[in-house]
Chains A and B, each alone.
Chain A
């Protein structure tokens, strides 16, 4: 469990970097907080969600199943952090 905490600690920071560099050209034009919805805030659209899924699958060597594709898991930095933490934790069981 302690290992998982250490591994997931950087999830939000790395994801924020990914979003800022990939979708916002490295600028802070669309300031977003950790709880802001990516979709509602217009940070990424449904195509961007596909890109986010591939980023998470590659970065954390995980497979995201169809029934996990819900806003609750993927639509803010905090939600992704919890989701990734849970997936990694499940993988260690």
Chain B
């Protein structure tokens, strides 16, 4: 059966969307947050670059402050690409390598200690990442394994124990939380707000660290599918090098795709599935458009639901035993 639905279902009226988001950013700053500009952490990726470009469009370059915060495990081109964005849009930036802060809080040591719980020979010169099984290949529960590569290039893969998994996640989350601490330092001294950069896939599925990259005062592209972020990026003139860079987590010492760490499928197919699920489109059409079987689609949908359940905690504001009626959140 020919597909009735494809990526074209995700096409935006881009100029209108840019103006709508820009109006929203200005209104949020003026009416709600009472701040005079925005701080954006620049990773060199498509999302933070597009948020920076949108904020420049909405507020002017002089009201946007970019932060470049690489650490030991950041990829080599992170700094070049984030610098390219800042230069292209004419925004001020501050550079701070956060490796020393992370060393001081024990991030790397704690990570490696946890790696050794499952791979005792892990040592100097080794590199690692954590990975999930593919949701397409079978009905396996999506539990993390540690992949480590020795200096000689030998790869070892071991399923993580509960303690090792929790310790690795807790230690690694220092990275996002240290960055957020610095973002708020600059936001406070400038009287600016902090712009978060999740797209819809990340926001919906909980692909963020609570009080790390999940913390922000505004999230201008959280309603946009990743495909739509690319549409805005092109319209706003985000440099081609960034628009053509494959999405990465840029978090572990071994390169890690977003699919092996979190999502079931590459972002364009994930967009189709999430869009299809959100709009109640026929399974056969969505599966055909995404290039997977209906059975695989059902597993992707199951994974989406499971992630939404897990993300509820990440989205939750502090819970009170009793509501305080005098305090009104926005």
By a beta-carbon cutoff of 8 Å, the part of chain A in contact with chain B is: 39-40, 42, 45-47, 49-51, 53-54, 66-67, 69-72, 74-75
Q: In the complex, A75→B302 CA distance in Å?
A: 13
Q: In the complex, A50→B143 CA distance in Å?
A: 8
Interface size classification for chain B? 10 to 19
Which chain B residues lie closer than 8 Å to A71 at the CB level? 139, 141
> 29 A-B pairs, CB-CB below 8 angstroms?
A39-B306, A39-B309, A45-B309, A45-B310, A46-B141, A46-B142, A47-B162, A47-B165, A49-B141, A50-B160, A50-B161, A50-B162, A50-B165, A51-B162, A53-B143, A53-B162, A54-B161, A54-B162, A66-B140, A67-B140, A69-B140, A69-B141, A69-B143, A70-B140, A70-B141, A71-B139, A71-B141, A72-B139, A74-B141
Cβ-closest 9 pairs across A and B: A50-B162, A69-B141, A70-B139, A45-B310, A51-B162, A54-B162, A69-B140, A42-B309, A49-B141
Q: In the complex, A67→B306 CA distance in Å?
A: 20
By a beta-carbon cutoff of 8 Å, the part of chain B in contact with chain A is: 138-143, 159-162, 165-166, 305-306, 309-310
Nearest-Cβ distance from residue B311 to partner chain A, whole angstroms: 10
Which chain A residues lie closer than 8 Å to B166 at the CB level? 47
**Most B C-beta atoms less than 10 A away, residue of A39, A46, A67, A71:** A46
**Chain A contact residues, majority secondary structure:** helix
Q: In the complex, A42→B162 CA distance in Å?
A: 19
Which chain B residues lie closer than 8 Å to A70 at the CB level? 138-141
Q: In the complex, A72→B162 CA distance in Å?
A: 21
Which chain A residues lie closer than 8 Å to B310 at the CB level? 45-46
Which chain B residues lie closer than 8 Å to A47 at the CB level? 162, 165-166
Q: In the complex, A72→B140 CA distance in Å?
A: 9
User: Which residue of the partner chain A has the closest CB to B166?
Assistant: A47
Nearest-Cβ distance from residue B295 to partner chain A, whole angstroms: 14
Q: Is the beta-carbon distance between A49 and B139 smaller than 8 angstroms? A: no
Q: In the complex, A74→B139 CA distance in Å?
A: 12
Nearest-Cβ distance from residue B128 to partner chain A, whole angstroms: 18
Nearest-Cβ distance from residue B137 to partner chain A, whole angstroms: 11
**Of the residues A66, A72, A74, A75, contact of B159 by C-beta under 8 Å:** A66
Which chain A residues lie closer than 8 Å to B138 at the CB level? 70
Which chain B residues lie closer than 8 Å to A53 at the CB level? 143, 162
Q: In the complex, A53→B143 CA distance in Å?
A: 11
Q: In the complex, A46→B57 CA distance in Å?
A: 41
Which chain A residues lie closer than 8 Å to B139 at the CB level? 70-72
Q: In the complex, A71→B135 CA distance in Å?
A: 13
Identify 13 new A-B residue pairs, CB closer than 8 A, beyond the known A39-B309, A50-B165.
A39-B306, A46-B143, A46-B310, A47-B166, A50-B162, A51-B162, A53-B143, A54-B162, A67-B140, A69-B140, A69-B143, A70-B139, A74-B141
Which chain A residues lie closer than 8 Å to B309 at the CB level? 39, 42, 45
Q: In the complex, A47→B306 CA distance in Å?
A: 12
User: Which residue of the partner chain B has the closest CB to A49?
Assistant: B141
Q: In the complex, A49→B310 CA distance in Å?
A: 13
Nearest-Cβ distance from residue A74 to partner chain B, whole angstroms: 7
Nearest-Cβ distance from residue B90 to partner chain A, whole angstroms: 44
Which chain B residues lie closer than 8 Å to A49 at the CB level? 141, 143
Nearest-Cβ distance from residue B305 to partner chain A, whole angstroms: 8
